[in-house]
Structure formats: C-alpha cells, structure tokens
Chains A and B, each alone.
Chain A
Amino acid sequence: MADVIGQVSRILGPVVHAKNVTRAKMLELVEVGEDRLIGEIVKLEGDTIAVQVYEDTTGLTPGANVYGSGMPLSVELGPGLLSAIYDGVQRPLEMIKAQSDFYIRRGVKVPPLDREKEWMFKPLSKAGDDVRAGQVIGSVQETQSIVHRIMVPPDISGKIRTIAAEGMTRIEKVIAVIETASGDHEMTLIQKWPVRKPRPIDKRLPSSMPLITGQRVIDTLFPVPKGGAVAVPGGFGTGKTMVEHQVAKWSDADVVVYIGCGERGNEITDVLQEFPKLTDPRTGRPLMDRTILIANTSNMPVAAREASIYTGITMAEYYRDQGYHVAIMADSSSRWAEALRELSGRMEEMPAEEGFPAYLPTRLAEFYERAGIAKTLSGQTGSVTIVGAVSPPGGDFSEPVTQHTKRFVRAFWALDRDLANARHYPAISWLDSYSEYVQDITPWWKEQAGEDWPELRMEILDLLQREARLQQVVKLVGADVLPDAQRLVLDVCELFKNAFLQQSAFDKIDTYSTVQRQFRMLKIIVTYYRLGAEAIQQGATLMKLRRIKSLSEITKMKFSIANDEMDKLDALQQRLEREMRRLGEIYAGFG
C-alpha cells in the first residue's frame, strides 16, 4: 500500500482522472490526495486512469498523488460483522461516531472489525488434518444466536501445521498455520474478499423451502423460497421500505443483511432504534443479533452507494458459506442504478435508455445471480435470498430498472398506488404481482400446512381475478344489478382483502402470521365462499349470507386470534361450516 502510482489531472465531482500512471489494475483500490480519499480504478487508458472516489472531492487539486494498493476493493469478513452498521465501503459508522462528531468527515479511516475485541475460539480440527478450501476448522460464538464458523479461505487447501487451542483470541492473531503447495499460510479470524467477485460454492441446489416472512400476502400468494430473488417495485409512499422492514424483522432467515442504499437517514435510525428492542420470533434473541446494516444514505457519496450493494452481498455470501440462510434487503436498487448512471455520465460514456449505461442489465444480472441456495465448500447447505426494492420514477413500471430487474428475478411484489392511498398495507397488488417459485415450494406447504393448500390458493387468486373483471361492470352500472352469485364474489374478495391481505405492522398480533395460521385463515374465507355459493344455488339470498354470525368473527380474526391459538381458528371454521350448512338446508327444504 501507499506507493504513488500517478497524479491527479482532472476532477469531475466523484470521478477523478490521473496521469503518468505506471502500475494500475482495473478495479484496484486506490487512495487519492493527501486526505487519502478512497476510490476504485474504473478505467485504464494508456498511462491515464479514471477513479471513482467514495468520498467528497471538494478541495482536491490536480497534481495530487494517487496511491495504489495492488488489491481490488475488498471487505473484511470475520466475527464482529453481526449487529454492526457500515457505510457502503464497510467503514463502521458506530466507531466513526466515537472518533469524530455527528458528521461523517472526509478521509476517516477506521478498520471495519474491532481489533481489540476478544473472541472465544474453539478449534474443530487438529494439527496434521488435511483441510480443503472452505472447510470449517473452528468456531466462535459471535452472538447469542449465531455461531461463526471459521473457514479455510476459498483459495487455500493443505495440511494444518498448528492450530490454536480453545481460548480467547483477537481477530488479527494467527489461529492456524496451513501447509500448502505454495508455502505456509497463516490464518487469522479475518478473511478478505473482493466485493465484485462472487464467493465460490460447491454446487447450486434446487429451491424447495419458502422463506417464511409471516406476511400473509407474501407467504400465501406470492412466496419466495430460500435462495430466491424478488423485486419490490413501487412509487414513493407505497410502502417499499415497510415491506423490507417487515421481511427483515420477521423472516425465518438466520442472518439478515439490510442495505439502505441511497435512502433516508431517519429510516436507518428507525431500524437502529427498533431492531435491538425486537426479538427474533424463533430464537427469542434481539433481532440485531442476526442483522448487519449497511447504510449509505442518499446524501452520502454516490460512488460508495454503488459499492454498497456489493459490500452487502459479499457479507451475505460469507454467512451462506458457513451454512446459514441469509436474506438480503436492498433498499433501493434503483438508487444503486442511478449511482451507476451518475458515474457513467461523469465518465462521458454513451448512454442507453433514459441515460442509464448500456451495461445496466449486465450489472443487475450479476447481482441477482448471486442469490441462490447451494451446497457450500464446507459441505453444508446455505442460501442467499435477495429482496430488492425498486423505485420507479413516477411509479411507472415500464422504466429500465424495473423492466431489466424483472428479467432476473422470479418473484415480483408490485406495490400499488391506489391501495397505498386507501392505506391498504402492505400495498402488494394481487393482480400485478407474481411468483414463479410456487411450484417449487408447494410440497413444503402441503406438508407443513395442509394438503389442499395449492387448491385454496388457486381458488382465491381466481376469485380475485373475477372480482377485478366484475368491478369494471360495477364501475359502469353499480353492484345492485349483479346476480347474488356474482355479488358473493365481490363480498368474499372484500372480506379477503380486509381480513387477510391487509396486515398491520403495528398491531402486536397481526404483524406476524405463522404458516399454520395463514393456512387456516385462508381456508375459512374460501369455505365461506364455497358454502355460500352452494347456499345461493339452493336459493339463499346474499343478505342472509351477510348475516351469518361467524362473519364478524372472521373479519376480526386477524386481530383477535393469536398465532398460538390454532384451536380457536379450527373452532371458527367448524362454526362457520355448521351455520352455512344450516342455511343451505333451510332453502334446500323449499327446493
């Protein structure tokens, strides 16, 4: 580090050109000027380079030195990542705060992982063992809920010469020496990995387990599996961030990486204040214990925003390699794409659609392809699930980022402006959203919830489609002219929207629904339709159906019946069936 490799010749905001450059590599990490602003080489041409600088370049003058590092932009991986908060290039914001005031000043250098903290290392191998790349040789209890598995780096294999005994150690201390073909390799608790390069795996596996989020519209209608990729597009105010927060809070991932990419500072503060107070529904531990936050808010330097997505996904892959299921929230991928556009513009590249660079789809594909469930090098199963928010300008889904993202994800949770305006949250549209993963995870649902899950799901989706068509008629002539059988469809869909799809993030009971509860609630509503349709056929009127006693219970069941009261839902189901049958029988008697 710190060899002068050239001199600044031109400064254009976050893009800096340098000349007289001798040794430089594409995407090498460099430091610019006496403030040692960090940046990355993004263009090489003869003896000149272009550098995208991750900090504000105010006051930088031509002639300033550029220092090379010989390394690509990398992150430090090791114990201490969980419950930390970083900026886009992995500077620890808490530690920066301890060092300076409430602003992030330029040129601050703080190591990402705490050098002083001591960890209890437990060896799982012994001297003389042969080890492969990625093999687990020891462990550290990182937080109460996560055991950090210490792995041989992916590019190293050989025989363990020495390994530390069980005991407290710091992350920079050598814990093992491995004899490799090219000499001895000293292992510490830290690994470095270039952010733009996916970490290697053994092989990809087919997805079969859903990522349970506890959000009914997601889990039941548009599920995403562990290892899947989903996009959440929505105009401003439609609740993207709320969806991302809910998934980050309640999903059954082992580790959550939350990237606030070009979004509001207060949203990050909200997460920081709320997560430590919340407990993980499965482990009972504070949610922060399993969460890594990456915050590059909209007013922080734009180049670091571009990097933040990669920083986050690399950390996610690292925990996947340890055999964990990781979910990564990218809020918002559009801001990342815009950072790309801004930098591309400053480099005077030829623009494609709406000023975005022509390589936008390639970059999006590279990112979303880093999702997946895999057999890791250490032989375990781990996954990375990507939930990427998209902020289309004007809420128009035909814009390039939404359109290209659609090509690389298999689930799509479209947020709807009208629903949001009526404060129907989550405002996930049942007409525009889809999930191609349903087939993959149907067996899981059948086993965990009930055999008839796929039929119930299809039936309600079909009803919602029919309702949309009927609504067009209603808009022209009013609902009164429709026959009762069709008005029942309207009623049931209204009920389904109010009692099932709408879910309050602020209600203690409603905020999370278990799979079993979701299934029963769905079944109750579909039963109301099925038996109601029968009763109408037998001559009952819609008014009678609306007066069923259990109906008001159904409307309120999401607030009144908790996750551990399945018997109450079963009882409600039976009551409903009894009431409906009786109604049907009365009319059947006349018929």
Chain B
Amino acid sequence: MPDLDKQLYHAREYQGIQQIIGPLVFIEGIHNVGYNELVELRDENGHERLGVILEASEGAAVVQVFEGTTGLSLNATRVRFRGKALQLPVDTEMLGRVFDGLGRPIDGGPGPVAEERWDVNGSPINPTSRTYPTKFIQTGISAIDGMNTLVRGQKLPVFSGAGLPHNQVTAQIVRQARIVGEDVNFAVVFAAMGVKHDVARYFIDSFEETGVLENVVMFLSLADAPSVERLMTPRTALTMAEYLAFRENMHVLVILTDMTNYCEALREISTLRGEIPSRKSYPGYLYSDLASLYERAGMIENSTGSITQVPILTMPNDDISHPIPDLTGYITEGQIVLERELSQKGIYPPIAGLPSLSRLMKDGIGPGMTRDDHAHIASQLFAAYAKVKDVRALASVIGEEELTPLDNTYLKFGEAFESEFLSQREDENRSIADTLDIGWKVISLLPKDELHRISEEELVKYYGK
C-alpha cells in the first residue's frame, strides 16, 4: 500500500459499529486495518476512547476498547484507525508524574513534550545482547538478602495472599534497596492494576516520605478504572522503564501490582471472544502473554542501565499452584513467598523460608560481592529450617516431650530463626554483614556435626562467634 493511500485511510472516519459485547466492538465495512493497531472511538458527545484491534479480517475488525463501552451506541459511534500500535511518549521529564494506564497524565499537569514515542508492545531482547545480572542489591531485609538475594536486572515477584503485608514489604524494598558502595542514577516505575486507591496512596506516601517521589513515574489503573485498561498498564510502564534504563542509563526498579488483576482482565477478554480456555478458564496464551511482560527486565550491552522487576501478585486462595503464580514462577527468576502462618504468628516480614527462591543468587553472592561464607550459610539455613518443619510435624503427633534432645535443639533453632533472623521492623535496614552474623548466631544453636553444608574453615571462623 503506498504511503499516501495509508495516510488517507488514517484520516478516514467511520460512523456506526455493528455489535458491542462487553468491552469488545465489532465493526464492518471499513478499509483493511492492521492487527494490534490503535483505534479511536468517539461517542455521541465527542468523548474519545481508545481501543486496539484484536482481530483483523477483510473490511472488518474486532476492537477491544480500553475505557469500556458504556455509553457507546451502534449508530452514533465514530471510529478512526490510527494505523499504528499504541505508543507512549517517553522523556525524563515524566519522572515525578502520574499517568493512567494508557500513558495520559492524570495529575493535572500537561501532557509530556517528548521527542520520541515508543511502541508499548516492545520487542523481544536478543538473548545475545543481554548481560547476565550479577550485582547484589541490598534490600536490608534479612530473609531476602541472606537467603533469596536480589540482583540488579532480576525479575523477582512477591507471591502473596489477601491480607498479607505485601505492600509493606515492597515499599520497604523500594525504600532500602541499594547497591553497597555505589551512588547511582536510579528511578522507580510504579504500575498499579486494579488496586484500591488507598493502596496507591500508601505507596505514594511511602515514596514521599523517603524523598524519592521525583524519581518515580506512576501508571495507575485503579480498581474503578475499566478492567481492559489494565492490559495496557504494565506495557506502558515497562516501555517507560526501557527508555529510562536503556536510553538514559538509569537503574530502574519496576513495581507491578497486582498481576492477578491483570490476568483476570486477560481471562475476561478471552472468554468474551469465545476462545478455547485452558486451565481455570485462563487463555492458553497466558504464559506467552506474561512472558512478554516479565522478560522486559534485565541488562543489555551498550547500556549501563538496568531494569529490575518486582511484580506483586496475590495467590487466589493462597494456592501457589494456581495458574497465575504457577506460570509466573516458570518465567521469573525466583519468587518471594509470603506465608499466612508466619504472619499470624506476628512475624514481619512473613517471608516463607522454604518456597522462596532467587535463581540469580548464586552469581550475586560470595567473596567480593557479599561475603565468602554466604552461599554455605544460606544453604545450611534452608536445610536446617526444612528439618525444623519435619520435627514440628512430628511434635504435633507425639508431643514435644517425646522428641529426642537433638530434635528439641532443632525446635529451638526454628524459633530463633523465625524471631531473630526472619523477623525485623519495617524501618529496620540490616547490612548484609549483620544479616549473615544473625544467620550464624541462630545456626550456632545446632551442634557442629549437624552442619553438613558448611566447611571446616567457616566453622572455625564463624561458629558460635
């Protein structure tokens, strides 16, 4: 198609649509439009809404309308096709601003004056262009730093449940996260999907208190916004993050909350389109779709910036095998799992000892990065805590009195591990050395010959000190 023709097409406005089902609009008698391109719809009052083409066929299209279809009529709706995918203007001036899920300012300020507009769908990063993340980020939280170390460029989600303090934990990470001995150009990109106003408020206040607000870009699609808009929110946010990281060489921490709401919106659309459902009626492409978000993290050659992602999701019914946490866990580089049982015991942060994992930990710790004993003490803590769980199960059957002295020692260790190592205040920022020392303190409750994963030299150096 010659370019002039194309331009003429994009100037063309159609009146009238054929069918509306929920957020989907079916339109016929149009020129041939491109898959995934942006659509503008105007209702009778001239109010503009945006949508995107889900399915294109000859002279017809299925459009998903982000702002919902309330108030649209079949005859009076006017439609224009932009001929390109949704784009986000990107500029460093957007730092400190608040936008909606589609990237329009909602803080009362003017739209950003940007020289560039980036396609929100992004493109896959060539694996050969990536650099492997190895820089340890100190979050000041022992359960993370000591046992599930976060590194720069990692995607590490928080698996939570309703009523658990995931917001507090995440806010604490944002406040405290830093690279030891480095002062850098950093930014936070915060995307809220379907969360309540007060949750967004909590984060804003927390950013304000720590004085980082000028370094935060927010994309809010809150609980009262149309659910379809949530499908675009993480994409606009990640496009912003990519610009800041890979063009402006900043270190960007991306918080996506709550991914469960995102997935629900995806299921809603999929069901309305009559697609063949997969597990729990989520679409078969849920994995690919989530991957297209989570994989937009990392570091690349030719740029000193990085994108570290901390998506938050609430596990429906605390079920970690539910498709949303399950597929997320298959894509992300580990997970921080919050546990109800710990939370009920009054332990904050209630980070579950065993199911939490950081896959990139092995490359971010050790001599020169954290401390030479880090890998072994972490592994030993995991092993010993696993044993504690066994002993507790046994104790609940036969009673603590019947346990062997060794088993009782394990119980003591378990208590100390939870109350001294895991547990800390919301404003407590522990250095990695402190974290490891506390780890040694609690592990030293166990006799030396139970510590199979620690070397002789380390025992001499740290045990019981």
Contacts and interface: CB of A to CB of B under 8 A. Distances in A.
A476 B398 contact: yes
Contacts of B56: 10-11, 60-62
Contacts of B276: 345, 348, 351, 355
Interface string B318-361: 00111100110111011100000000000000000011010110
A183 interface: no
Interface string B186-229: 00000000000000000000000000000000000000000000
Contacts of A235: 321, 326, 329
Contacts of B153: 266
A475 B393 contact: yes
A97 B126 contact: yes
Contacts of A265: 124-125, 127, 130, 295, 298
B285 interface: yes
Contact of B128 (A13, A56, A97, A299): A97
Contact of B34 (A59, A478, A506): A59
A295 B127 contact: yes
Contact of A10 (B57, B296, B375): B57
Nearest to A393: B326
A252 interface: no
B301 A102 contact: yes
Interface centre among A13, A300, A341, A474 (most CB of B within 10 A): A300
Interface stretch (B14-22, B135-143, B251-259, B286-294): B286-294
Interface size grouping (class) on chain B: 35 or more
A93 interface: yes
B404 A480 contact: yes
B123 A104 contact: yes
Nearest to A474: B394
Interface stretch (A143-151, A169-177, A267-275, A312-320): A267-275
A237 B329 contact: yes
B291 A299 contact: yes
A479 B149 CA distance: 36
Interface stretch (B70-78, B101-109, B165-173, B379-387): B379-387
A342 B285 contact: yes
Contact of A97 (B129, B288, B386): B129
A497 to B, nearest CB: 10
A555 interface: yes
A388 B449 CA distance: 39
B33 A61 contact: yes
Interface string B395-420: 00110001110010000000000000
Contacts of A475: 393-394, 397
Interface in A454-506: 474-480, 498, 506
Nearest to A300: B124
A308 interface: no
A393 B323 contact: yes
Nearest to A273: B132
B291 A262 contact: yes
B7 to A, nearest CB: 14
A102 B277 contact: no
A61 B326 contact: no
Nearest to B391: A478
Given A262-B291, A555-B452, A268 B127 contact: yes
B185 interface: no
19 contacts: A60-B35, A61-B32, A101-B129, A102-B301, A104-B124, A106-B123, A237-B359, A262-B288, A265-B127, A266-B133, A270-B363, A295-B127, A298-B331, A338-B288, A355-B276, A394-B322, A422-B383, A475-B397, A480-B402
What are the 10 closest A-B residue pairs judged by CB atoms, nearest first? Answer: A394-B321, A298-B291, A422-B386, A102-B129, A236-B329, A103-B123, A299-B295, A10-B57, A58-B36, A421-B354
